[in-house]
Chain A
């Protein structure tokens, strides 16, 4: 089993739609959690950290369930510019190792 698994995608949604991505991780010792965004042929960039209480940044909401080892990302009112691959990331080994999920590709259509 992979350490971090994500919805396989791709997700094709119309502008204005709400879309949710799911991620599960296998190691209960995982310490920190992030969502990264990667545009085609570019480097990954941090979208947001994920906190136990859940957190929101504009149209983006992240949730963490440590008991179920599950992370989610909700995007409301999708924009064309949200089209990208979204990577779920957990840290292990006292934060020394970042483990990336395979990513879920989102295409927002006009």
Chain B
């Protein structure tokens, strides 16, 4: 049972490049979400999904897109990377109102 997996673990991008952060879970959880965590700040919700085909914006959605074509996968797309998007990104999954399980994170540096 792998839980929540994220790839890549580390990534360096140049300003303006695009990339997709992958997230997958094998617990059949309906709910998946993406957070970013910056030094001295808590986890901030970027986008979330309550089931396949349903996504919604969180607190800081600008510059990011998501889709949820299957229950298992919830990729996060950076359309045109900016230095302000340098952060640690965590994906999480859960049943609604139950414990959230987090992936190991992706450390992103945008130059």
Q: Please give the residue numbers on chain A whose beta carbons come within 8 Å of chain B beta carbons, in ascending order.
A: 4, 31-32, 34, 42-46, 49, 87, 89, 91, 94-103
Residues of B within 8 A of A91 (CB): 97
Interface size class of B (residues with CB under 8 A): 20 to 34
* Known pairs A32-B97, A46-B99, A87-B43 / 20 extra A-B pairs, C-beta < 8 Å: A31-B97, A42-B105, A43-B102, A43-B104, A43-B105, A44-B43, A87-B42, A91-B97, A94-B96, A94-B97, A95-B96, A96-B96, A96-B97, A97-B48, A98-B33, A98-B45, A98-B92, A99-B45, A100-B35, A103-B42
Report A96 CB to chain B, min CB distance, Å. Answer: 6
Residues of A within 8 A of B35 (CB): 100
Q: Roughly how many angstroms separate A89 CA and B41 CA in the complex, as a whole number?
A: 14
Smallest CB gap from A89: residue in B: B100
